[in-house]
Structure 1
Amino acid sequence: MADMVGNVTRERYEQIVAEGRDLIEQLTKCQFASGDRVLEIEPMRKQGIQPPAGDTFTVDESLTMFAADIGVSLSAVDKWRWTASRWPAEHRRARVSFTVHRILAHISKGQLLEAKENLQKMLASILLTDDERAAGRRRPGRPRPAPGTAHRRPRPGRADPTSDRSARHRDAAADRRRPPGETGMFLTN
């Protein structure tokens, strides 16, 4: 029987994973491109700074109109705009999802300067190459060992009641000797 992951063979699973990565990469590009377009409509301003006089729309009105015109929620437009403003094009990573970029954008500039080297190492470790996977890391789709199973195994030096054949036979013989209707300690009427 072929090595299966769910209902597909290992080979097909690897193809699906590669396609999924490509789709996520495309989705990330689309979200950043949309964020860049929204920033063109309404650039980020410092808090308290009013838009130039004579503007016909507020920021909220412009973003709401754009969201309605393209058929997405205002919150999605806000996320795209904010994340794109925090990640200039030259700092975006193609194989890192938009969501990861958004989460990492919450790090303050002071924290980012302090943790820049660690951040780069972390991002690099997220993306495992096929060679790294083949070098002995757990393959995707393979189950991890169940936590807490070690305590269920019989300990050395302790008798396992299910492995004692004579005890099982004794119990079975005792059950055969009981009167009909009596099971163990409980009586049935």
Structure 2
Amino acid sequence: MKIICIGDSLTYGYRVNNENRWTYLCQHHYGGINFINKGKLGDTTAGMIYRFHEDVILERPGTTIIMGGTNDFLMNSSLENVIDNIATMAKDGKQSNINIVLGIQPPVIPSLAETLWASQVNYEKINNKIKLYREWALNFSKETCISYIDFYKKISQELNNIDVKKLYIDGIHLTSEGHKLMAETALDTLDILS
């Protein structure tokens, strides 16, 4: 079985060694399932749509995990635009008989991101868009009978128990420890599906 994970740097694993990325950890857990990481640094949901046919449809995976939107929000794209793009990919995948799973990205951490990423961005506004996107994704998944992996919920809960710098490199991207949590969350969902 083949699972393609399409997304941006949160899927790719920015500044995390390959063997510590959540996609690799999932692959290592399952052995017989080939996890293919099609995350691309700096990508937006528009870029993901552009490469969706080649990177996903033509590869004929059993399942694809679609996660994007954070870069769109960092570039001041609208929530509606992200929703339209994600819904288009989900529809195209379903029409090609691919099992679709939406990945709901983790929140950003304004205090870290302002210092370690870019100071001129309104990260509270971005977090608000991510929360609204999450609400849409949960409803969309229910309405269309597709699954989702709620990385947002898992990471948010863990932030109550652990120093934020153990999970985040720069307020946007996750550390190796953060990727372990993402892998655990993905595996819990995928175990339910199998």
- Where on the TM-score scale, by shorter chain, does this alignment land: which range? under 0.3
Structure-2-length-normalised TM-score: 0.22
Which structure has more relative contact order (CA 8 Å, sep 6+)? It is: 2
Task: Give the structure with the larger strand fraction.
Answer: 2
* TM, length-normalised to structure 1: 0.22
Larger Rg: 1
